[in-house]
Every structure is written in structure tokens, then in C-alpha cells.
């Protein structure tokens, strides 16, 4: 799929579970040439759908190894260095939730990892599998063929009504028997069973079709399981699921080798989609039209697979339908795996897709994200938190007079995060009274808050008629039926966990000058993926830029085959025939984290003033020259002074005046030219507003101002002064702040001196200004501007708003 935002057809869900081999002896394997072959363990890691993550294994000798889980749920481990018995666990996400489930075996060959193998192992150990893993060199003695067989037999007895309903006989080994994703047999059992652990001893097993459940104490044996009366109702439910899957199978067949024709796709919609279908504001007609007219960007990709898991029944009271189910649907193709919960309804003769009946698209496949941004000067910043991207693609919510949305949940403020409707734009941005409200990333800088967030925490989004400046979760009433609740598989990464090694490293382009991008032609892009091999890989590359002549943003992208061997480390972006970039461009990459922590995003910024040499994503590479001439920059070490940063090549204020003078175009101006103005970076991410409180705007009587980057807001004070260098006629705009002005300031004290050059326009709104800046901070050695020699010289282009 080509759209990174949550696309409304996420109900098309995920991967096929591959067949596994048979078990064998743990003795060395010898071929006909008398060569000893590697010992391997393979199987399927699935919980109703393939697990997206990693399989780990530990031997009785304490040795470990791991392997990524393939898109079809299969895995293979070479265990030459390990001795039996083995303990395995799969860690990742499935059906939109984070999980860690276990299995075990005493022989190489086939060992599956499913919620049922986890249940069996805990019964065999008579203790928590996590506890056994931590001390496996001793706990391994608790597992042998006899104990595993006894535990497997007990679990078979407890699950027998569901096993019977699915046609799974008593001769099936629940840990090693092969199964396929054909909605029958073991696959059907996994589709309809939920197993959870409220304590280390008590296991709750639920039939999601009937909502019946039983509890098992793993420290005892012989406990009852499902009542035999469950079999009939389960059989009916599994039959319903098979009928629902017929529609999905038909859609898979349409996209098996190529995009379907308009006639064939329309026929499928008319057969399998309800007339009152609604999904994220998109109805049946608009969804079909989008799939037909978007060139395939808003529809399934060729060769996609889908897995359905029943989450529970759906109350159809008040509708014309006789029954319904909530179904977790996991969509998978060669580019991505995504899942969402959708509804299916029965009209008396057919099962029909009903959508999610929601007005907007919410990111119910996970909120966590982390971001590394490398500026055009090489300075690196990390962000971590929640991506609250929410869309109203079809203006459905707008037409219902929705004005705002509030997200609540762990890690967010008690009053929630208020989002304002962006019109035009058809999406919600985080409300900022001092900013544009365009941002959707809620950044969390407090690691204590982040670390307190549990796996699979629940989040809620509510729609309101009130505008964002007055709406309140405590006093406002949300739209009935439009409160969305979903889980986030894993908390975001801690700020302290983030490092450049987690993100891709850019190789080509070799520098961050706009001229190197060749916009208007083919742009080769190359990178190295993060280590280790089981880590995330780049799945999407995106380039956006601005053209002054047309006054428009442009974008081109490339989605990558994450199933390719070897994985992609290069692509070519096509910008043939498109206007060039005048001031800036951003190269964006995205990778899915196998630990379930959402997206790892990377942005490289390009500008006409960027260094001409390659910039590594660790520190600022410095200026383009060591001479104090126009264009000189000190460079910035982002990691210095415990993250407060400091210049790589410190300079004095006299050096700064030399650079400004060499530019020859610095402007004289007064307080009246500045007051009431707002200046923003060309990408709109940072803004400085110079307010008027009636003060003189001198050093002795400064004016107030506000800085905002869409995430954080800081107060500062500002004044205008005349340059004092010989024969200089220009002015300086000075802004400063400290903990008394802004308690949340990242450093105790800072000051920036700006010299301005108008490079496009006459000073009215829309004019572009080049600011040469001299920065001082409290962590620098000498805080006196006139005599100090440890400041930073840098430049930035900003647009008057």
C-alpha cells in the first residue's frame, strides 16, 4: 500500500500460516556422504495470525540463538551450539497486540509456538514460563517427553469441545503437528481461542465465538475445561467464519497475479459488502471508487493475504441483520503487515463486510513511534512518543459538524491530547494556541512516564462538536457511538534508549545540499539498515520539497519489498518532469520495529546552505569552510554536555561580526519592523512569534515572544540593537530565555543574536529571510558575549507569516 497513514481498507488482513515439518531425533544428522549436517528446529509462530517479531531459543546448556519470523509465520533455527531440552519463545505483535508466548521440545525438528503450546508448557513446568526461561539450565530438567506428553493430553481434554468442532482428532500433537491456513483444523482452533494469564498460576481460556471460558491453575492437574455443550455453538461459529473467509478468499483470488478489472471488482463488492458499509467515514461507493481510480494506491496489493480471527459477537439490534461478529483482520503483502477490527453481518443468506462503522480513521494498529531527524547541517535530534494521525478522508466527520477530537490513555495527559480539525486537510492536528495545529506527533520527553506504560495499554479517541480551544474531556459530551477504543502493543522507546544505531544510515545522497538531489530526474537513494539482522528494515522512502515559483509542495515515494532476499538497501525516486526545490527538501524513511514499538522514522533535511561533505547521523559536520566568510558555520555536537550540545568549532562574537559583514547584505531594522510578526522555518516545523506588550524592545525593556515547534512551546524575551562593528549599519535581533522566563527550557540559559538578510520578497508575509545567528548557552564556558569565544555561528532560512 502506498499511503503511510492508516488507510481505510485495513480490514483486509494478513498472512498465511505455512505447513511445518515433522519432529525428529536430537542426534546429529548425517547425509549419504557421511557429512554431519546442522541441527535445525523449524515451525510456525502464530496466534490466529502469524506473529510479527522474533523467535528466541535457549538450550539446557544456556546457549541461545534467534531468528526473525517470516511473513507467513514460519521460522527456522540452527541449534548446533544448543543442547536439549529447548525452550522457545516468540516475541512481537499479532492482531494488533503485543505478546510473548512459549513452547518447548526435547528433539530437533518441528516445534510450533502458539498460545496452546504456551499453555501446555506452563502445565508441564507447573510454574511461569518466564521464570523457567531465566533459569533454564536448571529448569530444563522439569521437561522431558513424559511431562510434555502428560501436559499435552490434559490441555487436549480441556479444549476437546473446540477441537472436535474444528475436526482436530485426539491423535494430533498440539505442539508439533503441521497445519495450514485453510480455516479448518488447528488453524480454526487458533482463530477461536484466547488464552490469557491474570497471575503466574491462573490461566483463563476463552472461546471467542461463544464468550465461554474456564480457569486453569497450572500448579495442579485434572481441572475441568470447556463444557461439551460448547461444541455445537462453536461448530456453528466456525462455519460462520469459514463463510466469512469465502469472501476474503475470493478477493485474494482477484488480486492473485494482477489488479482486477472494474467489472470483477464491482461484482465482488456487490456480493460481499453491505450497502450500509462504513469504514473510517468511507462508504461502499466511495471505497469502491477509491480502489478503482487510485491506480491501486488505495486498495490491496497483488498477492496479498488475509487472516481473520473472531474477537467476539456484534450486537445487531436496530439493524436489518440477524447476527454479527467483531473480526480482527490482518492484512499482509510484500510491503507491510497491518491489522484492524472490523464488523461482519449476516442478512439471512450471506455474510457481508460492514466496515468498522466509524466516522474517521484512527491508528488502531499501534500508536508508538520514534524519530531521528538530521538537519541540513548534520545536527541530530531524537523524538519518541505517540503518532495520533487521524483522518477524515471522505469529510464524513466534517459533515457531522465534528470540530475536535481528544485522545486519552497511559502516557498522555490526564486531560487528554486535544486535536483540532484541519480544514482543508481532512485530518486532526494537535491543538496549539500559539502554532498551526498541524502536528500529529505527541512527543514524550519524560522517560519515567514512558516506562510506566504497560504492554497492550488501552487508548480512547472521542469526537466532539466543540472547537479545540474550549473542548474538555471532563465537561464536553462526545458524539454517541463515536468513542474509539484500541490497544497499543508496546510503549514507545525511552528517550534514553534511542541512538543512531537503531535507525538507517544514509549513504546516497552523499551530502545534504539541494543540488545533489537532482530533482527533476531520477534520484538514487542508498542506505544501510540497522543491526542486528533481526532488527527493523526500511520499507518506505519518501521525498518532499517546496518550489517557490509554483508555491506548492511536491512528493514522490518508493515502497519496498520487505520480503526480498536480501532486503532492499537502495531505491530510485522518480521526479522526472517535476519542478525543482528552491529552499528545502526532506528525505523520509520508515521501518517497522520487530519489537512492536511501531514505526522507526528517519528524516534528512536538505537545503542550499547544507555542508558539501557527507554528514553522519551523530553530530553536526560543521561549516563548509574554516574561513570566516559568508556561509561559515561552527558546527554543532548534539551529544556533548550530556545532550545539551555545544559547538564543534567555537567562535567569538567578533568572528560572527566578521562573517555577517562579509555577507554584505545584512539589514537595518527597528522594533516596529519586528513586533507582531511570526517567522517559521520553511517546513513550518518551528515558529518564533514576537509579541507586543507595550515595552520599548530594548535590552533594558525587552518584549515577550513565544517559540513553538508544534510539540513544545517556550517563552522568551527579545529586543533590537544596532551592530557595533566598524562601519556597520545593520541591526541585531536578540532573543533570550532562562528558567525564570521559561521553566521548561532544556538548558538553564540561552541567547541568540540574529542578523537578517531578505533573500526573497520585500518584507511582507511570505518573504524569505536568511538569519545568521550567534548562539550562547549556559553550558558554554564564557557567558559574556563581547569577550567570550565559545559561541556557535550558524544560519537558517525562515518565512514571514
pLDDT-based confidence at 287, cuts 50/70/90?
very high
**618-673: per-residue pLDDT in tens?**
333 333 345 788 777 787 776 677 667 788 888 888 888 888 888 888 888 899 98
d(CA 562, CA 551): 36
pLDDT-based confidence at 23, cuts 50/70/90?
very low
Residue 50 has a pLDDT of: 85
**224-281: per-residue pLDDT in tens?**
899 999 999 889 888 898 899 899 999 999 999 999 999 999 999 999 999 999 998 9
DSSP state, 563?
T
Phi, psi of 244 (to 5 degrees): -60, -40
**463-481: per-residue pLDDT in tens?**
999 999 999 999 999 998 8
**681-732: per-residue pLDDT in tens?**
766 668 899 999 999 999 999 999 998 876 678 899 999 999 888 888 889 9
Residue 105 has a pLDDT of: 94
∠ CA 601-395-326 to the nearest 5 degrees?
Answer: 75
Q: What percentage of the chain carries pLDDT values higher than 90? A: 42
d(CA 322, CA 41): 47
User: For residue 735, is pLDDT > 60?
Assistant: yes
Phi, psi of 452 (to 5 degrees): -85, -5
Winning range, highest mean pLDDT, from 10-19, 539-548, 705-714, 740-749: 539-548
Phi, psi of 105 (to 5 degrees): -165, 160
Residue 721 has a pLDDT of: 92
Residue 183 has a pLDDT of: 67
Nearest to 13 by CA among 348, 252, 259: 252
d(CA 565, CA 412): 40
In a 10 Å sphere around its CB, with 0-12 CB exposed, 13-18 middle and 19+ buried, how is residue 578 labelled?
middle
User: For residue 790, is pLDDT > 60?
Assistant: yes
d(CA 555, CA 190): 42
User: For residue 137, is pLDDT > 80?
Assistant: yes
Q: Is 573 helix (H, G, I), strand (E, B) or coil?
A: strand
Least confident of 125-134, 202-211, 643-652: 643-652
Indicate the Cα dihedral angle 187, 191, 192, 196, nearest 10°: 110
User: For residue 799, is pLDDT > 90?
Assistant: no
β-strand partners of 273: 353
Indicate the Cα dihedral angle 622, 600, 75, 151, nearest 10°: 130
Q: How far is CA 459 from the centre of its chain?
A: 15
Cβ-contact 42, 22 below 8 angstroms: no
Q: What is the CA radius of gyration of the chain?
A: 30
**495-554: per-residue pLDDT in tens?**
999 988 889 888 889 888 888 788 988 999 998 888 776 678 898 999 999 887 787 888
Computed from CA positions of residues 271, 272, 276, 281, in that sequence, does the dihedral angle turn out positive or negative?
Answer: negative
Phi, psi of 235 (to 5 degrees): -60, -45
* The three grid cell numbers given for residue 387, joined into one nine-digit string: 503518532
Residue 783 has a pLDDT of: 66
**569-586: per-residue pLDDT in tens?**
899 999 988 888 887 899
User: For residue 90, is pLDDT > 80?
Assistant: yes
In a 10 Å sphere around its CB, with 0-12 CB exposed, 13-18 middle and 19+ buried, how is residue 276 labelled?
middle
CB atoms within 10 A of CB 9: 22
**406-447: per-residue pLDDT in tens?**
999 999 999 999 999 987 668 899 998 876 677 899 999 999
User: For residue 388, is pLDDT > 90?
Assistant: yes
pLDDT-based confidence at 309, cuts 50/70/90?
confident
Q: Which residues of 430-454 are buried (b: 16+ CB within 10 A; e: fewer)?
A: bbbebbbbebbbbbbeeeebbeebe
When the pLDDT of each residue in the chain is averaged and rounded to a whole number, the result is: 84
Q: pTM here?
A: 0.68
Residues 6 or more apart whose CB falls under 8 angstroms from that of 759 comprise 768, 769, 770, 797
**117-127: per-residue pLDDT in tens?**
999 999 999 99
* Residue, of 182 and 33, whose pLDDT is higher: 182
From residue 429, alpha-carbon distances to 157, 377, 485, 573 in Å are 53, 28, 19, 29
d(CA 130, CA 126): 12
In a 10 Å sphere around its CB, with 0-12 CB exposed, 13-18 middle and 19+ buried, how is residue 740 labelled?
exposed
DSSP state, 281?
T
User: For residue 386, is pLDDT > 90?
Assistant: yes
Residue 700 has a pLDDT of: 92
User: For residue 615, is pLDDT > 70?
Assistant: no
User: For residue 28, is pLDDT > 60?
Assistant: no
Amino acid at each position: 500500500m502506498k499511503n503511510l497513514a492508516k488507510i481505510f481498507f485495513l480490514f483486509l488482513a494478513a498472512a498465511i500460516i505455512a505447513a511445518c515439518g515433522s519432529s525428529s531425533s536430537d542426534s546429529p544428522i548425517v547425509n549419504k556422504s557421511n557429512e554431519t549436517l546442522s541441527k535445525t528446529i523449524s515451525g510456525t509462530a502464530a496466534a490466529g495470525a502469524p506473529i510479527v517479531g522474533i523467535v528466541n531459543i535457549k538450550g539446557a546448556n544456556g546457549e541461545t540463538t534467534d531468528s526473525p519470523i517470516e511473513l507467513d509465520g514460519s521460522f527456522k533455527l540452527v541449534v548446533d551450539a544448543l543442547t536439549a531440552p529447548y525452550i522457545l519463545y516468540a516475541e512481537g505483535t499479532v492482531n494488533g497486540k503485543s505478546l510473548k508466548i512459549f513452547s518447548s521440545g526435547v528433539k530437533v525438528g518441528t516445534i510450533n509456538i502458539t498460545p496452546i503450546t504456551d499453555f501446555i508448557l506452563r502445565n508441564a513446568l507447573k510454574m511461569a514460563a518466564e521464570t523457567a526461561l531465566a533459569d533454564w539450565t536448571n529448569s530444563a530438567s522439569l521437561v522431558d517427553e513424559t511431562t510434555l506428553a502428560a501436559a499435552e493430553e490434559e490441555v487436549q481434554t480441556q479444549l476437546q469441545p473446540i477441537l472436535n468442532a474444528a475436526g482436530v482428532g485426539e491423535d494430533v500433537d498440539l505442539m508439533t503437528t503441521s497445519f495450514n491456513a485453510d480455516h479448518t483444523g488447528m488453524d480454526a482452533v487458533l482463530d477461536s481461542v484466547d488464552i490469557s494469564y491474570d497471575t503466574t498460576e491462573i490461566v483463563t481460556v476463552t472461546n471467542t465465538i461463544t464468550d465461554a471460558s474456564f480457569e486453569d491453575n497450572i500448579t495442579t492437574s485434572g481441572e475441568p475445561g470447556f463444557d461439551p455443550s460448547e461444541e455445537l455453538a462453536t461448530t456453528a461459529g466456525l462455519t460462520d467464519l469459514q463463510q466469512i473467509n469465502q469472501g476474503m478468499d475470493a478477493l485474494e483470488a482477484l488480486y492473485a497475479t494482477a489488479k482486477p478489472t472494474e467489472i470483477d471488482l464491482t461484482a465482488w463488492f456487490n456480493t460481499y459488502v453491505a450497502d450500509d458499509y462504513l469504514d473510517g467515514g468511507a462508504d461502499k461507493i466511495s471505497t469502491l471508487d477509491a480502489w478503482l481510480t487510485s491506480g491501486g494506491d488505495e486498495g490491496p496489493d497483488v498477492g496479498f493475504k488475509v487472516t481473520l480471527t473472531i474477537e467476539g459477537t456484534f450486537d445487531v439490534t436496530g439493524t436489518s441483520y440477524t447476527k454479527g461478529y467483531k473480526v480482527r483482520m490482518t492484512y499482509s503483502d510484500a510491503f507491510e503487515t497491518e491489522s484492524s477490527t472490523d464488523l461482519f453481518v449476516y442478512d439471512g443468506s450471506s455474510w457481508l463486510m460492514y466496515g468498522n462503522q466509524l466516522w474517521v480513521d484512527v491508528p488502531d494498529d499501534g500508536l508508538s513511534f520514534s524519530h531521528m531527524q538530521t538537519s541540513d547541517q548534520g545536527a541530530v535530534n531524537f523524538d519518541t512518543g505517540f503518532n495520533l494521525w487521524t483522518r477524515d478522508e471522505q469529510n464524513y466527520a466534517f459533515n457531522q459538524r465534528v470540530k475536535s477530537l481528544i485522545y486519552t490513555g497511559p502516557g498522555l495527559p490526564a486531560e487528554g491530547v486535544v486535536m483540532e480539525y484541519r480544514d482543508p486537510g481532512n485530518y486532526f492536528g494537535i491543538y496549539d494556541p500559539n502554532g498551526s495545529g498541524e502536528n500529529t506527533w505527541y512527543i514524550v520527553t519524560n522517560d519515567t512516564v514512558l516506562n510506566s506504560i504497560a504492554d497492550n495499554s488501552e487508548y480512547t479517541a472521542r469526537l466532539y462538536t466543540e472547537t479545540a480551544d474550549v473542548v474538555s474531556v471532563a465537561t464536553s459530551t462526545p458524539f454517541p457511538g463515536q468513542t474509539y477504543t484500541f490497544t497499543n502493543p508496546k510503549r514507545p522507546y525511552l528517550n534514553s534508549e534511542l541512538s543512531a544505531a537503531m535507525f538507517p544510515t544514509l549513504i546516497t545522497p552523499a551530502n545534504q545540499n539541494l543540488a545533489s538531489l537532482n530533482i527533476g530526474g531520477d534520484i538514487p537513494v542508498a542506505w544501510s539498515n540497522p543491526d542486528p539482522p533481526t532488527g527493523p528494515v526500511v520499507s518506505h522512502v519518501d521525498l518532499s520539497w517546496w518550489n517557490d515559483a509554483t508555491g506548492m509542495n511536491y512528493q514522490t515515494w518508493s515502497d519496498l519489498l520487505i520480503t526480498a532476499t536480501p532486503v532492499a538497501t537502495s531505491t530510485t525516486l522518480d521526479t522526472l518532469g517535476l519542478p525543482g526545490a528552491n529552499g528545502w527538501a526532506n528525505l523520509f524513511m520508515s521501518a517497522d520495529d520487530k519489537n512492536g514499538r511501531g514505526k522507526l522514522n528517519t528524516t534528512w533535511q536538505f537545503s542550499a546552505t547544507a555542508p558539501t561533505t557527507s554528514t553522519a547521523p551523530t553530530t553536526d559536520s560543521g561549516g563548509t569552510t574554516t574561513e570566516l566568510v559568508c556561509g561559515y558555520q561552527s558546527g554543532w555536537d548534539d551529544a556533548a554536555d550530556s545532550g545539551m550540545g555545544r559547538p564543534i568549532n567555537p567562535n567569538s562574537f567578533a568572528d560572527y561580526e566578521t562573517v555577517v559583514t562579509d555577507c554584505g547584505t545584512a539589514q537595518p531594522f527597528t522594533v516596529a519592523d519586528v513586533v507582531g510578526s511570526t517567522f517559521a522555518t520553511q517546513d513550518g516545523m518551528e515558529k518564533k512569534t514576537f509579541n507586543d506588550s507595550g515595552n520599548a524592545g530594548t535590552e533594558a525593556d525587552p518584549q515577550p515572544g513565544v517559540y513553538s515547534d508544534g510539540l513544545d512551546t517556550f517563552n522568551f524575551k527579545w529586543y533590537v540593537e544596532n551592530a557595533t562593528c566598524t562601519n556597520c549599519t545593520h541591526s541585531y535581533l536578540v532573543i533570550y530565555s532562562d528558567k525564570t522566563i521559561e521553566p521548561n527550557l532544556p538548558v538553564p540559559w540561552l541567547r541568540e543574536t540574529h542578523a537578517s538578510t531578505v533573500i526573497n520578497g520585500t518584507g511582507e508575509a511570505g518573504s524569505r529571510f536568511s538569519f545568521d545567528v550567534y548562539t550562547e548557552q549556559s553550558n558554554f564556558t564564557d557567558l559574556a558575549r563581547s569577550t567570550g569565544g565559545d559561541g556557535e555561528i550558524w544560519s537558517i532560512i525562515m518565512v514571514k507569516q
